[in-house]
Chain A
């Protein structure tokens, strides 16, 4: 499957529970492809041992 392709998008969305018609997928492709290119940069970034922001705390979230 080609990176950034309509088929790739279809499969990813199907996995999330969306069955999107072809014409609507076509409308999403421009933004999808830009995002995929930017994600390459994000995944290539050297973040060392940086943790996920917002650490989970088991303490109650009450007042």
Chain B
């Protein structure tokens, strides 16, 4: 592990002040990232499409605007990468699949437009698991590797986003999360990943996996950075009818140093149960994280959410059935262009019956009801993100993850905001994440808890040495 003062290890929070005060040039910053990508991304493999020329051009425009006094806000001049399922006008967007190998969108996704208008610099498109479900091997491009140990997985499906932020290859990124695809790689790569409330951020122009479970959210080095990115991308979008009219608060107001008066609930009966298979390092790190919340002034209690026992299968049915519906035409006409893993997973969606789907949606209603009840007595839930740190690439069983109880899926089913924040390292030096969740549209509570914890624990002071 290394601490570093290199430009590419600045956070958005740190860089934005320097850029605003003209002490840091967006061009210099962008060049630092491009040089870093040239130096090490051959090993990390986080990018599938690099955009050095357009990135430098955008940086020059940003610099010129700022020099003229037209500062747009904290993301102005900030270099970012985007998971390769966000439509980018004129730039291929493939879902990391041969099915869409030559697909070039004619319009940006809404969130891409918002980030562009905020003045970000797009470094390129990031690796992912195929169509957000099949990985780490895919039918197109190489897999991303974990910067903490290149022989280990990053987690998915936002694999490149997790790797790029950890390795200093982008200052911010967007991932997508249907059953944990932001939080999982965030935990395994030692970064912050925020899945906002369903409908908080537009999904227009984002390749779907499961329409009713997909969430768009930021992946960043710090909680502060996640709040800054969420501020830009949140809000109603007429092009996405599932996006919410709920007003967008000032998320930076939640960046408080303590948790006095905050009530934390731990659904220990599910998240620390034997069949979850939590390894010792993970259990210890998360327990210490929960203790830290207490040290910061929160009260902590165990809570019961009985329908969590149905969450994994309900999430699987809803996700795979919807994914199957989206991909059915291509699965039948060009199955050879899907990777083996994702093809099997999607086709299995065709084996679920209407009774399975309806019962899953009813279980979902029950879980939402129990979550709403729980959030009357607690402000935050705290629990692990993954049962173990990043597995080795050699011998990795990609189908195995579909058979374990899901620690992240319940928060997609209920649509509540949930974040992964680093809470330690395993004995092998691999990152571990703690998951924090709150009631719908209460991202501020999650941000407050994550920020206070991160400032106290300081795990983010350590970077992988590559």
Contact = CB atoms under 8 A, between A and B. Distances in A.
B165 interface: no
B310 A45 contact: yes
A43 B403 CA distance: 18
B252 interface: no
Given A16-B350, A30-B403, A47-B362, A41 B313 contact: yes
A54 B351 contact: no
Interface string B357-368: 011111111101
B364 A31 contact: no
Q: Tell me whether chain B's interface is mostly helix, strand or loop, or mixed.
A: helix
A50 to B, nearest CB: 5
Interface in A14-49: 15-18, 20, 24, 27-28, 30-32, 34-35, 38-39, 41-43, 45, 47
B68 interface: no
Contact of A35 (B316, B355, B359, B365): B316
Given A31-B402, A38-B313, A41-B313, A51 B350 contact: no
8 contacts: A13-B351, A16-B328, A31-B402, A35-B316, A41-B310, A42-B356, A53-B212, A54-B212
The prevalent SS among residues of A at the interface is: helix
B110 to A, nearest CB: 13
A52 B359 CA distance: 8
A50 B365 contact: yes
Given A30-B399, A31-B399, A42-B356, A50 B347 contact: no
Contacts of A38: 312-313, 316
B429 interface: no
A13 B347 contact: yes
Contacts of A41: 309-310, 313
B364 A53 contact: yes
Interface residues on B, range: 35 or more
B348 interface: yes
A35 B312 CA distance: 10
Contacts of B368: 53
Interface in B220-244: 238, 241
B403 A45 contact: no
Given A18-B332, A63-B238, A32 B360 contact: no
B21 interface: no
Contacts of A62: 238, 241
A47 B363 contact: yes
Interface in B298-338: 307, 309-310, 312-314, 316-317, 324, 328, 331-332
B70 interface: no
Contacts of A9: 351
Contact of A52 (B307, B331, B365): B365
Contacts of A34: 402-403
B256 interface: no
Nearest to B360: A42
Contact of B362 (A20, A32, A39, A53): A53
Contact of A51 (B309, B314, B317, B362): B362
